[in-house]
């Protein structure tokens, strides 16, 4: 599938705006009436009224109730499932990737394989990896376009994003964009990097598979006029070999092909790439004008918070929906809200990119540690002269010269 994509997003000018109001969260109050030993009545009243954090985000002019976006793939494959996503409360939906000639797209079954934690991939182990050999949408483009239009008519204030991919043919890309724009979708995601997207047709695995070079295509996309980057796509992989049959998984008539790897196992890789792209965007572009969408292994609000802390405006979920259902968005929102309350953040922008300044080079880490060791040794040895006293470290400096 062309899920978990790493293309740029191009926002449309006819964006609908949603109005969101912050809600007051009322925690339960209680009244305990007791009689004291001297006959006075004691009334204890406790009522906590706390304002919930605002989860809404505005990305390239598009306002969403929360930063959680359905990633391109099976969860956005037709009208029925996309409608379900909107009804459950997802901030936005990215439809499964479409092309001009869907009749050339033929999927196989089985098309997924899972990796579980534990010895020999025990069936009871937690699913930590997911591989797919699914292609882009095999539904006729005309039907998908009709459903895009229907969704925008029924949900005019919700954000619907189309994902597109074509062969190495500029005219085909331009035609596809023109036809998709006419449906009224809010943005277009250009899928340049599906790792198994029929390379024999020169589609898919041409960009983004070398993680070291991921910043460069992102930089080129932004300089070329795109308004955002989504990272990362699934990673080329072989899920495993069945040790009984000696055949690779997922096995189709005894054979298989490398496919895209997703789920929790790719989360650390995705964090590193999003961090790297975010730092590039911050140093070379005005990141207020561009957006970054983090993708990879999100199943909890904490994992979403990590993407936002390294600079993401939104967080996409695809495999997580396939494993847990569309209702997971409520859990994600609740857990992200709890994280924000814990740190006293009132909005997503309050902490977006907050962890970026703490990434540095290994050489700098060595220097920082050496300096910290030097300072600790200096304090331990005690002050050598009255001129060495400082106001900030006065208590520690005093303690350094106490013998017991």
Hey, which residues are catalytic here? Answer: 194
In this structure, how many other beta carbons lie within 10 angstroms of the beta carbon of residue 248? Answer: 18
Q: Which of 93, 54, 90 is nearest to 72 (CA)?
A: 93
Consecutive H or E run containing 83:
helix 79-88
Return the sign of the alpha-carbon dihedral for residues 203, 4, 130, 141. Answer: negative
Q: Which of 370, 231, 346 is nearest to 298 (CA)?
A: 231
Spatial separation of the C-alpha atoms in residues 351 and 359, rounded to whole Å = 16
Q: Which of 269, 274, 203, 201 is nearest to 234 (CA)?
A: 269
Spatial separation of the C-alpha atoms in residues 362 and 116, rounded to whole Å = 33
Q: Which of 213, 258, 214, 259 is nearest to 232 (CA)?
A: 214
Contact 295, 72 (CB under 8 A): no
Spatial separation of the C-alpha atoms in residues 298 and 321, rounded to whole Å = 10
Q: Where are the alpha helices (DSSP H) in 101-236?
A: 141-154, 170-181, 215-223
C-alpha distance from residue 127 to each of 68, 115, 121, 386 (Å): 22, 6, 9, 62
Helix axes 301-309, 328-342, angle to 10 degrees: 60
3-state secondary structure 373-403: HHHHHHHHHCCCCHHHCCCCCHHHHHHCCCC
Contact 234, 195 (CB under 8 A): yes
Spatial separation of the C-alpha atoms in residues 246 and 39, rounded to whole Å = 84
């Amino acid at each position: 599938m062309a899920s978990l994509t790493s293309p740029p997003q191009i926002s449309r000018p006819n964006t609908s705006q949603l109005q969101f109001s912050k809600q007051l969260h009322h925690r339960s109050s209680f009244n305990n009436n007791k009689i004291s030993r001297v006959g006075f009545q004691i009334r204890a009243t406790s009522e906590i009224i706390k304002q919930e954090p605002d989860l809404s985000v505005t990305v390239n002019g598009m306002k969403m109730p929360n930063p959680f976006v359905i990633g391109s793939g099976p969860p956005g494959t037709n009208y029925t499932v996309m409608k379900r996503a909107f009804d459950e409360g997802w901030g936005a939906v990215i439809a499964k990737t479409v092309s001009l000639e869907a009749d050339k797209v033929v999927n196989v079954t089985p098309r997924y394989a899972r990796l579980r934690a534990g010895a020999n991939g025990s069936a009871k182990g937690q699913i930590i990896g997911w591989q797919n050999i699914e292609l882009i949408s095999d539904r006729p483009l005309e039907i998908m376009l009709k459903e895009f239009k229907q969704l925008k008519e029924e949900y005019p204030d919700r954000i619907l994003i189309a994902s597109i991919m074509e062969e190495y043919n500029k005219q085909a890309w331009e035609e596809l964009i023109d036809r998709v724009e006419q449906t009224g979708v809010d943005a277009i995601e250009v899928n340049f990097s599906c790792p198994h997207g029929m390379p024999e047709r020169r589609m898919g695995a041409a960009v983004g598979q070398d993680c070291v070079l991921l910043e460069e295509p992102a930089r080129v996309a932004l300089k070329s006029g795109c308004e955002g980057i989504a990272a990362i796509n699934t990673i080329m992989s072989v899920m495993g070999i069945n040790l009984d049959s000696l055949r690779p998984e997922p096995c189709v008539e005894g054979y298989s092909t490398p496919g895209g790897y997703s789920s929790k196992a790719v989360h650390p890789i995705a964090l590193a790439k999003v961090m790297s792209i975010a730092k590039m965007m911050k140093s070379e572009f005005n990141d207020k004008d561009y957006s970054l969408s983090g993708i990879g292994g999100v199943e909890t609000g904490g994992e979403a918070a990590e993407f936002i802390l390294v600079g993401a405006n939104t967080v996409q979920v695809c495999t997580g929906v396939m494993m847990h259902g569309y209702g997971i968005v409520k859990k994600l929102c609740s857990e992200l809200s709890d994280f924000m309350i814990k740190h006293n953040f009132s909005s997503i922008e309050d902490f977006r990119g907050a962890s970026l300044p703490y990434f540095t080079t290994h050489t700098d880490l060595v220097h920082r540690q050496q300096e910290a060791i030097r300072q600790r040794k200096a304090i331990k040895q005690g002050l050598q002269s009255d001129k060495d006293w400082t106001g900030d470290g006065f208590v520690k400096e005093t303690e350094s010269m106490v013998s017991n």
